[in-house]
Amino acid sequence: MQHPSKILQSFRERAKWPVMSQILKKSGFSPARGWDNNIERFQEQEDTDREAAANASEQLVCDYKNYIRFGQKSIRLYQLEPQLVADIQQALDSLQIPESGYSTSYPLPLSEEDLEECSEAPVYVDRVLSSKGTDYIFSSCRKFQERRVFDQEILNDNALQGEKGSE
């Protein structure tokens, strides 16, 4: 069983609170106010009512998988010939899901330490059959470099001393 509070923490990294609130309502939970209160509520449930926590975990994992498949994210759509689609589907159907950090953790994200050991290339982690077809789920690591410019007037004295020492 994945701990419901851990699943909520994973949601927190991907979704805004209003979206999560709607997901909780749709799944039959009455959300508390904000992320912290809900995480705390599910942590208490894990300690007091194992059966309810297991049921909540099952529902939240389903919601999380659906969110990462269909929620707010970057996707690419391609227009392909029907025969090419059939060939690709046949090739994907023959693949076995490899043992990897991604597949062990799926659907939850990897820790920062585990992510360092994983390939940046997409790794096959799941196949989901639905009435509309088959979804093939791949995970990969995206690394970003972020550069920020800070206004020196708002930095405290310690931060300014550190900057002057690096010149």
Residue 53: CB atoms within 10 Å:
20
Do residues 82 and 110 both lie within one domain?
A: yes
> Is residue 105 domain-shared with residue 36, that is, in the same domain?
no
Residue 90 pLDDT grade (very low, low, confident, very high; cuts 50, 70, 90): very high
Cα–Cα distance between 41 and 44 in angstroms, integer? 5
The pLDDT tens digits for 16-53 are 888 888 888 888 888 888 888 888 888 888 788 878 77
Q: At which of 22, 48, 70 does a domain end?
A: 70
> Which pLDDT score is estimated for 83?
95
pTM of the model: 0.60
- DSSP assignment of 67-130: HHHHSSS--------HHHHHHHHHHHHTPPPPP-HHHHHTTSPPPHHHHHTS-SS-EEEEEEEE
pLDDT at 115 over 60: yes
Percent of the chain scoring above 90 in pLDDT:
5
Q: Do 56 and 115 share a domain, yes or no? A: no
- pLDDT tens by residue, 52-72: 778 888 888 888 888 887 776
Distance (Å, rounded) from C-alpha 129 to C-alpha 135? Answer: 6
Structural domain boundaries, residue 141: 76-167
One domain, residues 13 and 82 = no
Q: Give the up-direction half-sphere exposure of residue 158: CA atoms within 13 A in the CB hemisphere.
A: 0
Using 50, 70 and 90 to split pLDDT, how confident is the model at 87?
very high
Does one domain contain both 21 and 85?
no
